[in-house]
Amino acid sequence: MWPPQQEKHGDIEAGGQQLYPKMLENPQLRWGFIRKVYCILAVQFLLTVVVSAVIVFVRPIAVFFVTTAAGFALYIVLIILPFILLCPLYYYHQKHPVNLILLGLFTVAISFSVGLTCAFTKGKIILEAAILTAVVVVSLTIYTFWAAKKGHDFSFLGPFLFAALLVLTIFGFIQMLFPLGKTTVMIYSALAAIIFCGYIIYDTDNLIKRYSYDEYIWAAVSLYLDIVNLFLALLDILRALDG
């Protein structure tokens, strides 16, 4: 009895613990893939924090974007650019080093939008939103890993989350054209936060079970967008509450 127990103990120490019941692939390979994705995410968020901090603390940058025609045009380009970059990023997400270059450009473009949003927000609100986001993301990640270990599957959430995101996007365009007030903004942001919490669970479940080992870039992009959008939604809620 002792040798099998020692071998099992060694597998766990080496990161070979099974992530979900009836796991057919090598657990060590999947754990290595998960660590790789989270390392990429850490670099993305470090870059986001740096870019956002520069925009927040170097006031002429934010003033340029909101007070000049050239700055406003550049702001529109930066908003559209991530959507444009998603197409080649999806096509080349398995081709190194093109995928890393596109990922860097994508992250910087998103970071500019986040930085400009934070530039006109109180520091206390930014800190509160960041702490809330961190707590929610860590909690949902731990929960998803625990649920996968117990045999739960969240793949069924995909169609529902996509439909909810589609409705949210249309509602957002309506809100831009016909502003409906602070209460509507809070409701919209609360719904967005719930939807992206669902996406964090769904994409983490995909990370554990379904992404292939060559899809580390796309896995990182999915989780990065989930977390950034959750942060922005919480930021909008706190800004509306602050008045």
- Residues 200-228 have a mean pLDDT of 93
C-alpha distances out from residue 5 to 19, 71, 84, Å: 18, 64, 52
Best CA proximity match to 75, nearest among 119, 37, 41, 132: 119
* Residue 234: pLDDT over 60: yes
Can you give the pLDDT at residue 16? 57
Q: What DSSP state is assigned to residue 19?
A: S
Secondary structure of residue 154 in the 3-state scheme: coil
Taking only the tens place, the pLDDT of each residue in 91-126 is: 888 888 888 999 999 999 999 989 998 988 888 999
Taking only the tens place, the pLDDT of each residue in 139-153 is: 999 999 999 999 999
pTM to 2 decimal places: 0.89
Q: Which percentage of the chain shows pLDDT scores above 70?
A: 93
**Largest separation between any pair of C-alpha atoms in the chain:** 75
Confidence of residue 37 (pLDDT cuts 50, 70, 90): very high
Can you give the pLDDT at residue 131? 96
Number of neighbours of residue 231 by Cβ within 10 angstroms: 25
Number of neighbours of residue 35 by Cβ within 10 angstroms: 11
- Of 47-56, 151-160, 172-181, 189-198, the poorest mean pLDDT is in 172-181
The answer to whether residues 107 and 47 touch, using CB atoms and an 8 Å cutoff, is yes
The answer to whether residues 218 and 211 touch, using CB atoms and an 8 Å cutoff, is yes
Best CA proximity match to 236, nearest among 183, 197, 200: 183
Number of neighbours of residue 12 by Cβ within 10 angstroms: 11
